[in-house]
Amino acid sequence: MKRFGLRLAVCALVGFAPTVHAAVKARPAAIELPFMAGVPVSTYHPLPRTDLLIRDATVLDGDGHRFDNADILIHDGKIVAVGAHLVAKPGVEIVDAKGRWVTPGIIDPHSHDGTYAMPLTSVDNQASDVAETATPEEEDTWILNGVNTADATFIYALRNGVTTLQVLPGSTPLMSGRAVTLHPIPAPSVTDMMVPDAPAGAKMACGDNAKLHFGPLNQKPNSRGAEAAMLREAFTEAKAYRDAWVKYAKSGRGAPPERDIKLDTLAAILDGDLRLNIHCYRADDMNNWTRIAHEFNFRITAFHHAVEAYKTPQLFTDNHICAVVWSDWWGFKMEANDGIRENAAILDHDGVCVTMHSDGPVIGQRLNIEAAKAAGAGRRLGLSEPPEHVITWITSNPAKVLGLETRMGSLRPGFDADVVVWSADPFSIYSHADLVLVDGAKAYDRFDPRYQPKSDFQLGRPAGEEMQP
Partner 1 sequence: MIAPSFFAAVAAVAIIHATAWPMTGHGKIDNATLVIRDGKIASVEAGGAPPADAQVIDAKGATLTPGLMNAATQLGLVETGQADETNDMATTNATLGAAFDVTYALNANSVLLPVARADGLTRAVSYLSGSGVVPFTGQAAVIDLNDTPDIVDQPRAAVYAQVGSASLSGAGGSRAGQWQLLRNALSDARDALKLKDAKPVREQQALARVLDGTVPLVIMAQRESDIRQAIALAKDYGIRVVVMGADEAWRCADALAAAHIAVVLDPMDNLPISFDQIGARLDNAARLDKAGVKLAFYSSGNPIYLSYNAGLGMREAAGLAVANGMDYDHALAAVTRNPAEIFGIANHYGTLAPGMDADLVLWDGDPLEPSSAPLKVFVKGVEAPLVTRQTELRDRYYPAPKPGELPAEYRK
Interface residue with partner 1 among 48, 89, 121, 450 (CB under 8 A) is: 121
Q: Is 431 in the site for partner 1 (CB under 8 A)?
A: yes
In whole angstroms, how close is the CB of 469 to partner 1 at the nearest point? 10
Show Cβ contacts of residue 260 under 8 Å, excluding neighbours closer than 6 positions: 241
DSSP reduced 3-state for 233: helix
**From the CB of residue 101, how many other CB atoms can be counted at a distance below 10 Å?**
23
Interface residue with partner 1 among 341, 412, 442, 446 (CB under 8 A) is: 341
In whole angstroms, how close is the CB of 259 to partner 1 at the nearest point? 39
Cβ closest to partner 1, residue 103 vs residue 153? 153
In whole angstroms, how close is the CB of 453 to partner 1 at the nearest point? 15
CA distance 166 to 195: 10
Q: Is 443 in the site for partner 1 (CB under 8 A)?
A: no
Provide DSSP, 105-149. PEEEEEE-TTTSPSSP-HHHHHS-SS---SSSB-TT-BGGGT--T
Q: Is 156 in the site for partner 1 (CB under 8 A)?
A: yes
In whole angstroms, how close is the CB of 367 to partner 1 at the nearest point? 13
In whole angstroms, how close is the CB of 427 to partner 1 at the nearest point? 6
CA distance 466 to 25: 43
In whole angstroms, how close is the CB of 343 to partner 1 at the nearest point? 9
Of the ranges 16-24, 174-182, 399-407, 422-430, which one interacts with partner 1 (CB under 8 A)?
422-430
**Count of positions (residues) in the chain:** 469
Q: Is 120 in the site for partner 1 (CB under 8 A)?
A: yes
**Which residues, 235 to 254, sit near partner 1 by CB under 8 A?**
none
Interface residue with partner 1 among 118, 174, 246, 367 (CB under 8 A) is: 118
R_g of the chain, CA atoms, integer Å: 22
Count of residues binding partner 1 (CB under 8 A)? 58
CA distance 387 to 378: 12
In whole angstroms, how close is the CB of 338 to partner 1 at the nearest point? 6
Cβ closest to partner 1, residue 259 vs residue 380? 380
Q: How far is CA 437 from CA 52, 216, 233, 345, 359, in A?
A: 10, 47, 46, 29, 23
Cβ closest to partner 1, residue 122 vs residue 218? 122
Return the H-helix or E-strand segment holding 14.
helix 2-14
Show Cβ contacts of residue 285 under 8 Å, excluding neighbours closer than 6 positions: 206, 207, 224, 335
Cβ closest to partner 1, residue 411 vs residue 433? 433
Residue of 230, 238, 217, 232 whose CA lies nearest to 134: 217
Q: Is 457 in the site for partner 1 (CB under 8 A)?
A: yes
The values of phi and psi at residue 243, to 5°, are -60, -40
**Which residues, 358 to 377, sit near partner 1 by CB under 8 A?**
360-363, 365, 369, 372-373, 375-377
Would you give the binding string for partner 1 spanning residues 300-339, x where CB under 8 A is met? Answer: ----------xx-xx-------------xxxxxxx-xxxx
Q: Is 150 in the site for partner 1 (CB under 8 A)?
A: no
Cβ pair 309, 288 in contact under 8 A: no
CA distance 163 to 154: 10
Q: Return residues touching partner 1 (CB under 8 A).
A: 118-121, 152-153, 156, 208, 212, 310-311, 313-314, 328-334, 336-342, 346, 350, 360-363, 365, 369, 372-373, 375-377, 380-381, 427-432, 457-458, 461-468
